[in-house]
Chain A
Amino acid sequence: MMPSVRVRAPVWRWRAWRALSVLLSGTAMPACDDPLVDPAVVAGPRILGARVRALGTGGAEPGAGESATIDWLVASNDSGSYSARLLFCVGEPTSLGAPRCLGPAFEERTLEGAFGEPLTLEFSVPTELMPGESWLAWFGSCESGEVSFDPASSEFRCADASLSLSGSYRGRIPVGAPNSNPSLVDDLLSIDGAPWLPSDAEPSLGATCADSVLPRLVAGVAANIHFELGGDDRDALESTPGTYAAHPRESLVYTHLFSRPGLDRAFSAIDFDSDALGFDVTLQPSPTPVPDAFGETVELYWLVRDERGGVDWTRRRGCLVPR
């Protein structure tokens, strides 16, 4: 597996002459006994993404007064369910640090969700928002007890201090070129040369799978995952001629996660200037803990973001067997 480089954020300093030193001093090779958790592993309940769809246009950026849905994707290394507080507020015009609400929530709901399945809520964007202004969607969940949201600090709190998950999604009233969610439906995901497709009859995560049609993965043995764009989802971007470092179209950033250690990295990208429309990721599932002799169902989540808020995801399951 290729060693990774860890760079302490932020890598940029406006005091230009300090920037290089900060960059260099922040670059470090993780040690062999790296205690930091691997971002490519779904080791417990974790928000993986949120996707917004305008009900009228289907775009990723609903306008002021428009109705839309938001899907929250929460996964875990085990199947199960959770309870979450979902709410919406108008966002402060922050540009550094965590987003914050400008006032109280304009919509708020508590819902039950299942790990690995989208949790969907319909909402309407406030009519008074102007182009460029933002609204925020929030997700909070406690391991146990009541979850509440403090708009002033824009933080969730649990009655028993057991906050397990919190996240936000910032939407903006559209300015410029319309933004649509990228789609993974027409893209190709293959493993060791064979298409890796979702199946209607998949065992649940962690269940035995010897009799299933899931592709076989062998613990400790490397497999090659190949991804290929079916159609180019990189939306064209508007920019004034002469704009510095302008991108003519979006870049697509992929997050890939697995239910146990084994992916060589969590991120891949097809940048705006890339001619290559595919890439490879190596999956070498950790042999520990030893999977069930009858196979153990494992999961791969594959998300794509267009760096403007557009998101899509898909899931693949495999059957992990001991070596």
Chain B
Amino acid sequence: MRLIVRGSIGALVLSLATGSTRVCARDLEPPVHDAEAAPAEEDVYEAVAEVEAPPRQATERKLDAEQLARVPGTSGDPIKAVDVLPGVSRSNDGEPILRGAAEHESTVFIDGTRVPFLYHFGGLRSVVHPRLIEQVALYPGNFSTRYGRATGGVVEARLREPRSDAWHGELELSLLDSSALLEGPLTENLSFAVAARRSNIDFVFDSFVPEGTFNVLVAPVYWDYQGQLSYRLGQHGRVRLSALGSRDQTTLVFADPSAENAALRGDVGGSVEFHRLQLEYQDRFAGVSQDVQVSVGKEALRQVVGPNSQAYFDVLDLGARGEWTVPVSAQVELVTGLDVEAQAFTGAYRGSPAPASEGSLDGPDNVADQITVDRTSFWLVHPAAYLEARYFPLERLLILPGIRVDYYEELDALSVDPRLSQRLTLGEAVTLKSAVGWYSQPPEYYESLAGVGNPKVDPYHALHLSAGAEFRVSDALFLDLEGFYKRLSHRVVATEGSVPPHFINDGRGRILGLEAGASYRQHDGLAAQFSYTLSRSERQDRDDPWRLFDRDQTHVLSLALGYPLGAGFYAGARFRFITGNPVTEVQSSSYDAGSDVYYPLFGKQNAARDPAFHQLDVRLEKTFGIGPGTLGVYLDVQNVYAAENPEGFVYSYDYRTRQAATGSPFFPNLGLRGEL
């Protein structure tokens, strides 16, 4: 056994070269010496090692929050930094696009609980205080049976344990938001953490909006909170109560109808929020590990777009997850679990019919086509059970067969998803990996809602295949190369013109790609993360010709560098180059004389592309030690050279002239953080 020591005592991390297994040791305690005795020549330190379980899937890309928090362009937000990893495409609204899957086909978990959205205002900030995040794990495909109801990939953020050594606090103030964090021990075994954040945008927003544009403007406001109570039960056990919530809100009140869209008048805006309360219990009895979680939560949506479009939905979220790991022999370990999600929707809607969740072509909201869904209540109940084995037929070969069964109560449909992954370690440095699996996903809630969608629509499926290799070239350098292929079947697509029944299972998809990643971490030195994804993602709706996926990005290249300059200075840079998204050209338009709107008449769908996206972000940070605490000042500059990065077009009222819509502007975010 070879131990490689990194870091200093007190925050010691040991890496153990046992293939892919990693061992972490914390809270090292020096031996207690008799004051009278002469000190030993060589002290033997004792540590409790937390051994990470073997992988649950062929490909796991995990990054510690400390690494992610310094990625430039993210304002220190670890979750926003996942796009430095291979397999992650650039998203327009913050939700992850993993291996050519649509945003709604991937799932986001925070501490095992699914959350409805991960970012404020579609990517501005994640909804969790960055300092509470321990790790962000990305499973871009071929994920374990632990996860279901998704045909794309999984992002899971793990919150760290509250610190138990002493009370700590942190205050942060930046142009974007202000936040506070407080944590510490309450008793020997009980510790807590609370954090809250609120945006500052409304304090500076007025300077961006010309005076007189609106009668009333309530600038975008977001806030979030997290709380944790963690109680240690002996050596292996833990009970943790967590709460988290988030809210985004904005309102515009138009003095007169918009210059180009008569439907846009009066109030425009709304709010989205969610709250979660989660109780988690982890322990081990007779070698059997168990992890049980129950959660209850609420989501609320309010929206209004002029007098003709408004909606509200309140959702009660219930979740329960139990997982038991049973060692059967030296070679076999079984993992079985139950995963139940239930949602009670209550809401009403007046507005345009629902477009397809992917592949719909933008057109005007026509008041003549509006629908009304009166106050309606319905449940979505999705119980699931899974079983998987970790089988080591050889010392260096790990095989992970698994099966997951999901039931979709509202559809009265069942899906059975078999999955198989393997990892073979060759020598000290090389691991070969491959996987095949079947994945199922229910339609979006509205796609099966009577009056809006088709109650007879079924779940849809994806076949995932992947194969690759990982190379640990040195302690500092890690390389990852993987190819993948996915075939989507039974996709839910809109009927042409959204004629009843509005949605049908008549779509297909195929995705092929190659991912390459390299990470270099020199102790107290250079840190670099390189990723490149080459892929092609296509869809077929009904009998239409195959087309590119709306967010197909052939090349996704990212390079992030960070370097401690000394004297408390840290500098970082991130560069991204990404193929532009497909666009559908408008060839002409047709006027609806009854409603006074123009319908665009499109050319071949997704046959053109936006120009390539490229952006450089830099971050400079200086940390001062002040007494027992630290004070950090950072400047995080997004889009340093102000690349325009056009994304689609804004058209004139009649679609005869157009203007490129520019992407994220140059934005310097100056922040101050005090930590105790």
Contact = CB atoms under 8 A, between A and B. Distances in A.
Interface of A: 2-12, 14-25, 27-30, 34-40, 46-50, 72, 92-100, 139, 155, 163, 165-171, 242-247, 251, 253, 255, 265-269, 271-273, 279, 303, 305, 307-309, 311
27 contacts: A4-B260, A5-B259, A10-B352, A10-B355, A10-B365, A12-B303, A14-B357, A14-B444, A16-B311, A19-B301, A20-B269, A20-B303, A21-B121, A23-B269, A23-B305, A36-B659, A94-B499, A95-B497, A95-B499, A96-B352, A242-B374, A251-B308, A255-B262, A266-B262, A267-B265, A305-B596, A311-B594
Contacts of A272: 307
A15 B453 CA distance: 13
Q: Identify which of A14, A50, A251 gathers the most chain B CB atoms within 10 Å of its CB.
A: A14
Contact of B261 (A7, A19, A48, A169): A7
Contacts of B371: 95
A48 B648 CA distance: 28
Contact of A168 (B593, B596, B661): B593
Interface in B116-141: 116-117, 119, 121-123
Given A2-B255, A39-B653, A9 B364 contact: yes
A145 to B, nearest CB: 16
B497 A170 contact: no
A5 B355 CA distance: 24
Contacts of A30: 659
Contacts of A11: 264, 268, 305, 365
Contact of B363 (A97, A139, A308): A97
Interface in B334-372: 348-355, 357, 360-365, 367-369, 371-372
B41 interface: no
Interface string B93-127: 11100000001100000000000110101110000
Given A7-B264, A98-B599, A305-B596, A20 B121 contact: yes
10 nearest A-B pairs in the assembled complex, by CB-CB distance: A21-B122, A94-B497, A167-B591, A4-B259, A50-B593, A244-B348, A98-B599, A39-B653, A267-B262, A96-B498
Interface string B469-494: 00000000000000000000000001
A99 B598 CA distance: 11
Contacts of B368: 170, 307-309
Contact of A20 (B122, B648, B651): B122
A24 B301 contact: no
Given A9-B364, A98-B599, A273-B307, A93 B210 contact: no
Contacts of B303: 12, 16, 19-20
Contact of B248 (A20, A35, A255): A20
A99 B363 CA distance: 12
Nearest to A308: B368
A29 B205 CA distance: 14
B307 A265 contact: no
Contacts of A72: 593
A255 B261 contact: no
A16 B311 CA distance: 10
A247 B656 contact: no
A15 B104 contact: yes
B652 interface: yes
Contact of A97 (B259, B260, B497, B651): B497
A103 to B, nearest CB: 14
A50 B93 CA distance: 39
Q: Identify which of A99, A139, A243 gathers the most chain B CB atoms within 10 Å of its CB.
A: A99
A12 B369 CA distance: 14
Contacts of A38: 259
A3 B213 contact: yes
B657 interface: yes
A24 B265 contact: no
Contacts of B654: 37, 39, 46
Contacts of B305: 11-12, 23
Contacts of A139: 593
A37 B593 contact: no
Contacts of A34: 659
Nearest to A134: B368
Nearest to A303: B596
B375 A265 contact: no
Interface in B279-314: 299, 301, 303, 305, 307-311, 313
Contact of A253 (B92, B93, B262, B348): B262
B270 interface: yes
A92 to B, nearest CB: 6
Given A17-B117, A21-B121, A50-B593, 16 more contacts: A3-B212, A3-B213, A10-B352, A18-B103, A20-B269, A21-B94, A36-B659, A95-B497, A96-B360, A97-B361, A99-B599, A168-B590, A245-B372, A255-B596, A266-B259, A309-B368
A64 B311 CA distance: 34
A271 B254 CA distance: 13
B650 A20 contact: no
B550 to A, nearest CB: 13
Interface of B: 92-95, 103-104, 116-117, 119, 121-123, 209-210, 212-214, 220, 248, 250, 252, 254-262, 264-266, 268-272, 299, 301, 303, 305, 307-311, 313, 348-355, 357, 360-365, 367-369, 371-375, 444, 446, 452, 494, 496-500, 502, 588, 590-596, 599, 601, 648, 650-654, 656-659, 661
Contacts of B95: 18
Given A95-B369, A96-B369, A265-B257, A19 B497 contact: no
A22 to B, nearest CB: 6
Contacts of B213: 2-5, 29
A170 B350 CA distance: 21
A247 to B, nearest CB: 7
Contacts of B591: 47, 165-168
Contacts of B595: 305, 307
Given A14-B354, A17-B116, A267-B257, A6 B650 contact: yes
Contacts of B270: 19-20, 23
A72 to B, nearest CB: 7
B438 to A, nearest CB: 25
Contacts of A21: 93-94, 119, 121-123
A166 B593 CA distance: 10
A168 B122 contact: no
B201 to A, nearest CB: 11
Nearest to B663: A25
Nearest to A163: B588
Nearest to A24: B121
Contact of B498 (A3, A94, A303): A94
A50 B648 CA distance: 32
Q: Identify which of A3, A5, A308 gathers the most chain B CB atoms within 10 Å of its CB.
A: A5
B308 A16 contact: no
A216 to B, nearest CB: 26
A22 B301 CA distance: 14
Contacts of A18: 93, 95, 103, 117, 122
B349 A244 contact: yes
A16 B122 contact: no
Nearest to A71: B593
Contacts of A15: 104, 357, 444
Q: Identify which of A47, A92, A247 gathers the most chain B CB atoms within 10 Å of its CB.
A: A47
Contacts of B349: 244
Given A96-B498, A168-B592, A24 B261 contact: no
B222 to A, nearest CB: 10
Nearest to B315: A16
Given A12-B351, A18-B93, A39 B363 contact: no
Contacts of B651: 36
Contacts of B594: 50, 169-171, 305, 309, 311
A95 B498 contact: yes
Contacts of A17: 116-117, 272, 299, 301
Contacts of B121: 20-21, 24
